Amino acid sequence: MTNSRIKLLPDHVANQIAAGEVVQRPASVVKELMENALDAGADDIKLIVKDGGKTLIQVVDNGDGMNEHDARMAFERHATSKIASAEDLFHLQTKGFRGEALASIAAVAHVEMKTKPEDADLGTYIKIEGSKIVTQEPVATQKGTSISVKNLFYNIPARRKFLKSVQVEMRHINEEFYRIALAHPRISFTLIHNGNIQYQLPKSNRLQRISNLFGHKMQTKLVPVKESTDYIKIDGYIGKPENVKLKRGEQYFFVNNRFIKSPYLHHALRSAYEGLIKEKSYPSYFIYFEIDPKHVDVNIHPTKTEIKFDDEQTVYSILKVAAKHSLGQFNLSPSMDFDKRPDLDIPYEMQKQSPKMPDIKVDPDFNPFEEDDFGQPAKTSLKHYEKKLEYWESLMHQTQADAGDLFDQQQETGSRLNDDYQEDIEAFQFLHKFIITRRQNSLLMIHQHRAHRLVIYHKMLRQLQNGHIPSQQLIFPVELHLTVDEINMLKDYEQEIKNTGFDVQFDTETLLINGVPLEQKTLDIAEIFQEILRQLQMEAPTEKQAIEKKLASIIAGKSAIKTGQKLSPDEIKALIKDLFNITENRFTPDGKIIIVEIDSKGLEKKFT
């Protein structure tokens, strides 16, 4: 047996590999510890966190507790009280069952546990560091279990380095907390972060629990859904169509009180809203399924958030029908009269008016022999105008494919355009989307929305360099009702939000906007703060300058000239002038092309 290459891994390495499946970030630890507390029969669970879980994650419960032997065995791999045979996997009623959680957590952190069953005089204290038991001794403690996980990934620096900011990690912890608290309204939960109580949830029913987590206004935004069949029972709530959001928010499925992710079921629910909401909008839902465990496989994913029904199509159909029935029952679906032609309705304000012959106007200055720069009549007939539009449309389609290549090859900076462009050169709007003009021997096509967005963005950055953007007070302040988590997220960036011109005040579940950035009166405030929340959820910058730039980019995008908006000749010239006063004006802040330039050679190639 020489040159053997296959060897057994040392226990500490095997444990760290197992930890990679179970413990991905602090929120993973929260999930495992809270589920263990639920399986122990606790009806009061406290979660204590410091620094987004990087420094401390502690779960204290009043469950059954463990004796000395069980306390020690709980940290062994594949040790579990939840199952005894493979057959048990098809009749699961508990959360955890693989026997990996505590062993995996102890492999990558400092862990301390105090536990005591009700009938014992003393409990057990165990201290473990990187899978090694440092201390095990009797201790005076209350009934139940307290587990503290400190310095997560202390022995795997590469993993610890990839943890995100405190705000980001805390959002993931909050999400795990929501999932467990929503699934178990009959249990009281407390969440404490850095010494501050974020949530203190009393025992309640499902709707009260939803309100306690997402704000009392949430009750007015939901309608109940209920359906019962021999195969499955559905209960819960879905959002009214008028309260949909621009970002994914409160969307929860639970199967036998276990949170799951299911794009398939999401599609079923989303299809029930067909014709009621816009394409890129997201309704809230809290749906609880009850089904015989033998019809469900929860062991297809290590985190057990993905499951498989043995008849998914039936579940899909029942959910869709139940949701449609709920929306219709509460008069939320549009009524339809198939005998009525709404296109033939006469508006109320015109019903009493007499018919009026249309005015016919003749242009006495029309000269069919006068030509413009394009060889067309300067003041042309409708047919000539249509031909001109066809010419530009054809040119746009022909050049669109290779315009990007030409642009990449040229690699010009905005400063050259600024130097060469002359203000007296004509420019016009095309399709209410593009501005077309020329520079020397080149044709310029400018995306009007993106151009204006960049102009506003750079103006805001210049104002921020001087300290902050002036704010103008609103006659009627705007009140937005948000979740506690959303309020806390915005509070983390309160000063930066105020620097960009918003005068804001925070309450537990309310954001009050008293003022908006100067010169931005037309902002849709609700929409812009939903976009701020959406982008901060995806990426939470920590440096002040980066935060302000992101906020300025969002505000500029929402307040810029829209595609389809008609511009006057003066507005076109002003926009071009402002754009060419910016040195780097080829791209928007998020990297989208603003200007496409095609030189005379590129045009000539189209006619060869």
The reported pLDDT for the residue numbered 339 is 43
Kindly state the average pLDDT of the residues 207-229.
90
Determine the Cα–Cα distance for residues 294 and 204; give it in Å rounded to an integer. 29
pLDDT of 17 reads 57
Q: How far apart are CA 358 and CA 372, in angstroms?
A: 31
CA distance 341 to 348: 16
Q: What is the DSSP string of 64-133?
A: ----HHHHHHTTSTT--SS-SSGGGGGS--SS--SS-HHHHHHHSSEEEEEEE-TT-SSEEEEEEETTEE
Regarding whether 449 and 511 lie in a shared domain, the answer is: yes
User: Between the CA of residue 575 and those of 109, 118, 332, 582, what are the distances in Å?
Assistant: 57, 75, 43, 11
Say what the pLDDT of residue 93 is: 52
487-532, pLDDT tens digit by residue? 888 888 888 888 888 888 888 778 898 888 887 666 788 888 888 8
Closest by CA to 436, choosing from 557, 575, 556, is: 575
Q: Do 188 and 229 belong together in one domain?
A: no
Which stretch of 86-95, 295-304, 369-378, 407-416 has the lowest confidence by average pLDDT? 407-416
Q: Look up residue 138 and give its amino acid.
A: P
Pairing of strands 188-193, 44-50: parallel
- For the cut 80, the answer to whether the pLDDT of residue 402 exceeds it is no
Mean pLDDT of 140-155: 93
586 — pLDDT class (breaks 50, 70, 90): confident
Residue pair 205/211 in contact (Cβ under 8 Å)? The answer is no
CATH code at position 255: 3.30.230.10
Domain containing residue 82: CATH number:
3.30.565.10
Q: Which two tokens stand for residue 325?
A: 């029935």
Residue, of 441 and 49, whose pLDDT is higher? 49
Identify the band that residue 476 occupies on the pLDDT scale cut at 50, 70 and 90: confident
Q: Pick the closest to residue 180 from 190, 192, 165, 170 (CA basis).
A: 190
Cα–Cα distance measured from residue 559 to residue 553, given in angstroms and rounded to the nearest whole number: 10
At which of 310, 329, 348 does a domain end? 329
Question: Over 90: is that where the pLDDT of 225 sits?
Answer: yes
How far, CA to CA in Å, does 22 sit from each of 25, 31, 98?
A: 9, 10, 10
* Same domain for 249 and 195: no
Asked whether the predicted pLDDT for residue 86 surpasses 90, the reply is: no
User: Are residues 463 and 607 both part of a single domain?
Assistant: yes
Residue 390 in any domain: the answer is no
> Is residue 34 situated within a structural domain?
yes
pLDDT per residue as tens digits for the range 262-281: 888 999 998 998 888 887 78
Query: How many distinct structural domains can be found in the chain?
Result: 3
Residue 245 has a pLDDT of 79
CA 467 to chain centroid, in Å, comes to 30
Domain boundary among 294, 310, 329: 329
Q: What is the pTM for the complete model shown? A: 0.65
Residue 302 resides in a domain:
yes
DSSP conformation class of 63: S
Distance in Å from the first CA to the final CA of the chain = 75
- Closest alpha carbon to 232 in 252, 253, 255: 255
pLDDT at 112 over 90: yes
Per the listing, tokens 């949909």 go with 244
* Mean of pLDDT over the chain: 79
Evaluate whether residue 383 is within a structural domain.
no
SS3 587: strand
What three-state secondary structure class fits 280?
A: coil
Q: For residues 128 and 228, state if they share a domain.
A: no
Shared-domain flag, residues 188 and 213 = no
Whole-number Å distance between alpha carbons of 97 and 86: 11
User: Residue 66: inside a domain, yes or no?
Assistant: yes
Task: For residue 97, tell me if it sits in a domain.
Answer: yes
Range from 97-111, 183-197, 396-410, 487-501 carrying the lowest mean pLDDT: 396-410
On whether both 54 and 177 belong to a single domain, the answer is yes
| Within a domain: 372 | no
- Do residues 185 and 262 both lie within one domain? no
Backbone φ/ψ region at 375: left (φ over 0), alpha (ψ -120 to 50), beta = left
Calculate mean pLDDT across residues 347-371.
57
Same domain, 308 and 159: no
77 and 28: one domain?
yes
CA 151 to chain centre: 29
Average pLDDT value for residue range 445-453:
89
Residue 402: inside a domain: no
Residues in Cβ contact with 504 at an 8 Å cutoff, skipping those fewer than 6 apart: 490, 494, 497, 498, 511, 512, 513, 514
Domain, as residue range, for 311: 206-329
Q: Taking residues 576-588, report their average pLDDT.
A: 84
Task: Please give the average per-residue pLDDT across 30-54, as a whole number.
Answer: 94
- Point out the domain boundary residue: 299, 329, 359: 329
The 3-state secondary structure of 366-395 reads CCCCCECCCCCECCCCHHHHHHHHHHHHHH
Task: Note whether 132 and 242 are same-domain residues.
Answer: no
Amino acid residing at 543: E
pLDDT of residue 37: 94
Are 319 and 432 within one domain?
no
Predicted pLDDT at 343: 47
Q: What pLDDT score does 134 carry? A: 92
List Cβ<8 Å contacts ≥24 apart for 321-328.
321/227, 322/225, 322/226, 322/227, 322/234, 323/225, 323/238, 323/268, 323/269, 323/272, 323/273, 324/272, 325/227, 326/223, 326/224, 326/225, 326/226, 326/238, 327/223, 327/238, 327/241, 327/272, 327/273, 327/276
Rg of the chain in Å (alpha carbons): 32
536-552 pLDDT tens trace: 777 666 677 788 888 88
CATH code, domain carrying 508: 3.30.1370.100
